Amino acid sequence: MNSETSSVFTTIGWDGERSFFAIDEHLERLENYAIIADIGFDEGLKTKIITQMKTQPFKVINSNQSNELCKPLGLVTIRVNKEGTISLSERSNEYNINCNVINAITITAPDDIKEKLGVKLGEHLPYKNAYKIAKEYEGNAALLVYRDAVIDGDRATLMVLDKDGTAWVSSEEYGSIKSITVGLIKDGLLKKGIPISFGKITTDLILRSSDAIMLGTGLGVTRIHSIDGRIFKFPNSLLFDNVKSVFSELMKEKWTDLNEG
């Protein structure tokens, strides 16, 4: 069986003990992935995942470290394979916490990226390889480019603020992974006067943007500093400030402590 199609996964924010961020949204995404990948998923499996999250021994992260960029102390990857086996693996989020700005490297996405249907499959190799290449070129994030457009980031979503005040995110039709974080902040950002549109993130759009960030489960909200060595001096921090404000409120509301109840 091809290891790249035999399992699906999602990675969830973790407080280092037994609290998790946006559990419902992540389990819904995992179920959607499973359906697309023809992996059985039902309420019984969902219950087993929650039970395992409650009981599996994790290496606790003891830290008073805090940050203003909405980044959790740790991450837990939830994976389900075609046999219905559940695996949970935890890790520290220290690298992302220490990433205060994004120095991105653009990487050509593989031609079959759209065939993956925006699903986190197997070992997620195109994304892992892109990040590895970015690090080799002294970057701390990779932007996957397909037909002259940025379709995704290695572990977070690129969002740019156009000069008309609209925030743009790559559409799933180009092969991007649907972002839980974007979905969570969308309504709150609109209330602050910034609508989100989904489309093609071209070089021209990036060059004329007034602000740009990457956001996701591990990276939180982190501002773009450079892409392929080109430093961006954006005219304002409107997108960064407002997304951080919305996300900070969500960080107060969306944590579930599985030690309770």
- In tens, the pLDDT along 82-133 reads 999 999 999 999 999 999 999 999 999 988 777 776 888 888 888 999 999 9
Answer yes or no: is 115 within a domain: yes
The answer to whether residue 205 scores a pLDDT higher than 60 is: yes
My answer on whether 70 and 182 are in the same domain is no
Displacement of CA 167 from its chain's centroid (Å) = 17
pLDDT of residue 261: 54
Answer yes or no: is 143 within a domain: yes
Domain boundary among 63, 94, 125: 94
The answer to whether residue 260 scores a pLDDT higher than 80 is: no
Distance, in Å, from the CA atom of 148 to the CA atom of 201, rounded to the nearest integer, reads 9
Query: Whole-number mean pLDDT of the chain?
Result: 93
My answer on whether 17 and 83 are in the same domain is yes
pLDDT band at 256 (very low <50, low <70, confident <90, very high): very high
My answer on whether 86 and 115 are in the same domain is no
**Average pLDDT value for residue range 230-255:** 96
pLDDT of residue 96: 95
Answer yes or no: is 242 within a domain: yes
Answer yes or no: is 261 within a domain: no
pLDDT of residue 5: 62
pLDDT of residue 66: 63
Answer yes or no: is 256 within a domain: no
My answer on whether 81 and 102 are in the same domain is no
Instruction: Identify the CA nearest to 215 among candidates 174, 155, 168, 149.
Output: 155
Please give the tally of structural domains in the chain. 2
Answer yes or no: is 259 within a domain: no
**CA-based Rg of the chain, rounded to a whole angstrom?**
18
The answer to whether residue 2 scores a pLDDT higher than 50 is: no
Share of the chain residues as helix, strand and coil, in percent rounded to the nearest 5: 30, 30, 35
Counting DSSP H helices and E strands in the chain, the numbers are 7, 15
My answer on whether 90 and 118 are in the same domain is no
Answer yes or no: is 11 within a domain: yes
pLDDT in tens, 3-45: 456 899 999 999 999 999 999 999 999 999 999 999 999 999 9
Distance, in Å, from the CA atom of 212 to the CA atom of 192, rounded to the nearest integer, reads 17
Domain boundary among 77, 94, 111: 94
pLDDT band at 222 (very low <50, low <70, confident <90, very high): very high
**Average pLDDT value for residue range 128-147:** 95
Boundaries of domain holding 107: 97-250
**Average pLDDT value for residue range 168-184:** 93
Distance, in Å, from the CA atom of 211 to the CA atom of 158, rounded to the nearest integer, reads 11
Q: How many Cβ atoms are within 10 Å of 40's Cβ, its own excluded?
A: 12
My answer on whether 190 and 109 are in the same domain is yes
| Inter-residue contact 95 to 72 (CB < 8 Å) | no
My answer on whether 118 and 220 are in the same domain is yes
Place of tokens 């929650």: 50
Residue 34 is part of a domain; what is its CATH number? 3.30.470.10
pLDDT of residue 113: 77
**Average pLDDT value for residue range 133-151:** 95
My answer on whether 201 and 110 are in the same domain is yes
Residue 161 is part of a domain; what is its CATH number? 3.20.10.10
Domain boundary among 72, 94, 116: 94
pLDDT of residue 20: 97
pLDDT band at 1 (very low <50, low <70, confident <90, very high): very low
My answer on whether 18 and 46 are in the same domain is yes
My answer on whether 56 and 82 are in the same domain is yes
Answer yes or no: is 130 within a domain: yes
> Would you say how long the chain is, in residues?
261
Distance, in Å, from the CA atom of 255 to the CA atom of 203, rounded to the nearest integer, reads 36
My answer on whether 55 and 154 are in the same domain is no
My answer on whether 41 and 151 are in the same domain is no
**Which residues have CB under 8 Å from 79's CB, separation 6+?**
7, 8, 9, 86, 87, 88, 89
| Inter-residue contact 175 to 151 (CB < 8 Å) | yes
C-alpha distances (whole Å) from 198 to each of 87, 106, 165, 170, 236 are 33, 20, 14, 5, 22
Distance, in Å, from the CA atom of 183 to the CA atom of 142, rounded to the nearest integer, reads 22
C-alpha distances (whole Å) from 69 to each of 140, 219, 241 are 16, 8, 10
